[in-house]
């Protein structure tokens, strides 16, 4: 049974930093792409960043480029999202997700962690 468990959310002032973690278990994730999504109150969930488990190739939504960094630790089966220069508009519930390379949809999702950025 695949489990994705996020942690690291919290309250931070604008300009501050947080690091989110996603502990993945239940299978090997070779051949998977891991993603971070976010959903602000009253808005649709949006893609933030993703990384290839095998190659480390990364993708970012334009609004977080240069501020967020996604990475993975294969030995710990953990994916990270380092968030710097946070803005109030980054406030959202952040979700970790996984899909097999070649699939269009993310199949596995975590429960989410709240990030609140105060102005």
pLDDT tens digit sequence for 17-52: 999 999 999 988 999 999 999 999 999 999 999 999
**Region 4-21 average pLDDT:** 98
Rounded distance between C-alpha atoms, residue 114 and residue 32, angstroms: 25
Rounded distance between C-alpha atoms, residue 78 and residue 18, angstroms: 16
Please tell me the least confidently modeled range out of 65-69, 90-94, 101-105.
101-105
Quote helix, strand, coil % in the chain, to nearest 5: 5, 55, 40
- Identify the pLDDT of residue 88: 98
- Identify the pLDDT of residue 86: 98
Q: In this prediction, what percent of the chain has a pLDDT beyond 70?
A: 100
- Identify the pLDDT of residue 14: 98
- Identify the pLDDT of residue 19: 98
Q: Grade residue 70 by pLDDT with cuts at 50, 70 and 90.
A: very high
**Region 102-117 average pLDDT:** 96
């Amino acid at each position: 049974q695949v489990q994705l468990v996020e942690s690291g959310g919290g309250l931070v002032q604008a300009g501050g930093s947080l690091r989110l973690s996603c502990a993945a278990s239940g299978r090997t994730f070779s051949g998977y792409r891991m993603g971070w999504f976010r959903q602000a109150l009253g808005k649709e969930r949006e893609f933030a960043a993703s990384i290839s488990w095998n190659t480390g190739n990364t993708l970012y939504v334009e609004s977080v480029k240069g501020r967020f960094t996604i990475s993975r630790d294969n030995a710990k089966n953990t994916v990270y999202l380092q968030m710097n220069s946070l803005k109030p508009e980054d406030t959202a519930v952040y979700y970790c997700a996984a899909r097999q390379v070649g699939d269009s949809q993310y199949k596995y999702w975590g429960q989410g962690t709240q990030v609140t950025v105060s102005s």
